[in-house]
Amino acid sequence: MVSAAIAHREIEQGLLLDLGTPVRIRDLDGAVERRRLSDGAWIDLRRHWVDGADSVFAALGDGVDWRSERRPMYDRVVDVPRLVAFHDHIADVPHPSVAEAGAALTEYYRDVLPEGFATAGLCLYRGGDDSVAWHGDTIGRGATDDTLVAILSLGAPRALALRPRSGGPSFRVTLDSGDLLVMGGSCQRTWEHAVPKTARPVAPRISIQFRPAGVR
């Protein structure tokens, strides 16, 4: 049972959740830091966007129908190193703050994404062995056109790594619980991102990826 596994690891790793802080989506206006990358890509970072993020983390750990996936790799089929869930409609995620966050993102980025954010993909990283390999979200318009992918991080801090597809140095952004990172412009087709494995003992983390319809 996933929730039991989360609770066991929280105790084992000494993660103390702050479940007493009321959940609140904070303003984006005047609080977003933009970093321009090469080839028309950029990222926005909003630290501490969600107050009470640990409560959302705990609720999703219990309430989401997490599943494991397998994929072919070379001559064998291996387990995907994380648990996942996908919702065609943001409002279907079992916590009202997720829908509120999606609406706030849609309003803030209306000028560059008129259709707004529609779907929510969730990943549960159970520990340092769970990860996401280098990739871009290039299914749908992300393969040919500028688009937005927003990531809300909940739970233990983890690094998100980014690197240009054309070659060059990578860099990392450590996301804490309640932090928001948005990848925009050409980022999905000219850059790649990953959540690397780590040998450090780390507690579980949930990421929520807000995307336009048809982008994966």
DSSP secondary structure, 168-198, as one string: ---EEEEEPTT-EEEEEETHHHHEEEEE---
pLDDT at 6: 58
86 within a domain of the structure (yes/no)? yes
**pLDDT tens track, the chain, 216 positions:** 455 455 445 434 445 677 889 999 999 999 999 999 999 999 999 999 999 999 999 999 999 999 998 666 556 556 889 999 999 999 999 999 999 999 999 999 999 999 999 999 999 999 999 999 999 999 888 888 899 999 999 999 999 999 999 999 999 999 999 999 999 999 999 999 999 999 999 999 999 999 999 898
pLDDT at 119: 98
Whether residue 136 contacts residue 191, with contact meaning beta carbons closer than 8 Å, is answered with yes
Distance CA(189)–CA(215), nearest Å, equals 12
Whether residue 59 contacts residue 165, with contact meaning beta carbons closer than 8 Å, is answered with no
140 within a domain of the structure (yes/no)? yes
216 within a domain of the structure (yes/no)? no
168 within a domain of the structure (yes/no)? yes
Which domain does 24 fall in, by range?
2-211
Q: For residue 7, give the CATH number of its domain.
A: 2.60.120.590
SS3 state of residue 106: helix
Distance CA(114)–CA(65), nearest Å, equals 30
pLDDT at 2: 58
pLDDT at 58: 94
pLDDT at 78: 65
124 within a domain of the structure (yes/no)? yes
pLDDT at 68: 94
Residues facing 149 on adjacent strands = 183
153 within a domain of the structure (yes/no)? yes
* Structural domains of the chain, count: 1
pLDDT at 1: 46
